[in-house]
A and B are shown apart, each in its own frame.
Chain A
Amino acid sequence: MKTIRIGGGQGFWGDSPDAAIHMVRAGDIQYLACDYLAELTLSIMQRQKLKNPKAGFASDFTQLIREIGKEAYEKKIRILSNAGGMNIQGAVDALRSIAEGQNMRGYKIGYVTGDDLLEKLPELLREGRTFPNMDDVGDFDEIKDKIVNVNVYYGREPLMDCLREGADLVITGRATDSALFLAPLAYEFGWGDKDLDDLARGIMVGHLLECGGQGAGGNFDYDWRSVPAMDNLGFPIAEVTEDDLHITKAPGCGGLISEQSVKEQFLYEVHDPANYITPDVTVDISRATIVNDGDNSVRIGGVRGKEKPEKLKMCIGYHAGYKVATYLPFAWPDAYEKARYAAEILMKKMKRKNLRYEDIRIDYLGLNALHLDVAEYDEELIKRLNEVVLRIAIRVKDKEEAKKLIPEISPLQLNGPPGASFFGGRSQIQDVIGLWPALIDRDLVTLTSHMLEVK
């Protein structure tokens, strides 16, 4: 029986490459898929590209290929990634240069273009198309002059075209994370549009693997102490046959594949379990099963598929002002009381400076900066705090407003309550990119597959 083993090599842009390298060397995989795009990543990449036309893709990926590309090629491990981000051509050029440098003749790089609709947007608007916010908030007219990027989430098909053409590596922009995993499985097993349950199973492979270590004992709430060798955490590998799905990991690395570790990833960022919508298929996992099936092996069953949605989702990034977070730590005794008093001083000063903000947060790190009002405010606990960090964050429309707060923090060491200890230097002002999710008709999107062969 045909079995395909596919590894999830990256959870996000900035993740550790160690597990992907180990999988290629010791994981006995035929495919490696690496996800680099979170919701916000394309907007960040677009801003980098505006500053430097050669940037705008996940350079971590080219670094990974530099390290293991040749070995994967020799072992016939095919690699898929959405690392192309906002600059596919830049990524392809970088990959070609690496492959040429390592004498990888005949290496085929497949790539997909067409998800970037920034230039096409004005035309679509002139045609009278509208893009209401899927979350039913905001007015499009207010953001239309501040748009940074427009990208469509697409599914498996253009990636499969690259595989059919013999690509050793497939690089995309905003392909969905799960399409990177579904494409090779649908290609290998010949799944078509009507094989809804199979497509759904392929999507769940992607869903369970696309967050890297989180599928293998990373961020494990059930019992993090039981996870072996987190310093050498393996990432999950899916073992897929015509009608079965197991999650496992490579030998010789840390991490844990168990019913509970897989469960925690299973519903993560899924909303309605009966209707998990992707461009390829709507997935129903409301009656799914997860059972231990040997050492670091878990079997997934009961995944069902329903018709794919009519429209594609797109994500519009727009400039939405600025924000700045400032920090000032206070030491025992009465650290919290002193930090509160410092916050009052700052707010009085800001009032005198006529600070105009859209939103403000005052937090006390060590007490409530993560759990907010759900934190415990026990008086004895507050009295005993060894230290607490005052954090004041503001969001403003005008950059000049943000500049008012920053220089007021460090002087409080000498001008405020005792025991303040400024650290980390002055705060930086950050751009705020808003995200505007919307739907678009499939026929307005033309995705094109290309191939480059290294000479």
Chain B
Amino acid sequence: MALVYLNTLAHGRSGDKGDTSNVCVYARDPKDYPLLKRVLTAERVKEYFGDMVRGEVIRYEVETLHGFNFVMKHALGGGATHSLRLDSLGKSMGSAFMRMKIDTDDPSGT
């Protein structure tokens, strides 16, 4: 089993709209896109963030860019000024996402 941080395989950026955080994620190498597609399911991402993301997680795929957009609702503690988080705009949601551990050998992604 080869367990790696997601940031060894992918890169991305997070943004905010109200209480919704979006993280775009791209394969560093296009050959890893199928693996990322298997393992980075919306369910897995929702489970990973736990109490940090209280609403649904939607995954959009952009095959031509070997990337995804993850839209996570109720993910910023109320959003903008409502939020009591130090990072109220969720600028660090992207790096939080990138520390997810990925099993590069597991074809099922579980």
Contact = CB atoms under 8 A, between A and B. Distances in A.
A358 B71 CA distance: 26
The dominant DSSP class at the B interface is: mixed
A394 to B, nearest CB: 7
Number of chain B interface residues as a range: 35 or more
Contacts of A371: 92, 95-96, 99
Of B16, B18, B73, B78, chain A has the most CB atoms within 10 Å of the CB of: B18
Interface string B61-81: 011110101010100011111
B15 A394 contact: no
A435 B79 contact: yes
A232 interface: no
A267 B22 contact: yes
Nearest to B92: A370
A430 B88 CA distance: 14
Contacts of A39: 16-18, 80
Contact of A219 (B13, B51, B69): B13
Contacts of B15: 268-269
Nearest to B15: A269
Interface in B7-21: 7, 11-13, 15-20
A378 interface: no
Contacts of A287: 62-64
A273 B63 CA distance: 11
Interface string A394-426: 110000000000000000000000000000000
A285 B28 CA distance: 20
A302 B86 contact: no
Nearest to A372: B52
A359 B84 contact: yes
A285 B22 CA distance: 16
A39 B50 CA distance: 26
Given A221-B13, A271-B71, A287-B64, A432 B82 contact: yes
6 contacts: A214-B13, A263-B26, A272-B60, A285-B62, A363-B86, A373-B50
Interface of B: 7, 11-13, 15-20, 22, 24, 26, 28, 48-52, 58, 60, 62-65, 67, 69, 71, 73, 77-82, 84-87, 91-92, 94-96, 98-99
Given A363-B86, A370-B96, A393-B86, 15 more contacts: A265-B13, A266-B24, A267-B69, A268-B22, A269-B16, A271-B22, A273-B69, A325-B84, A369-B87, A371-B96, A373-B52, A374-B49, A395-B84, A431-B81, A434-B81
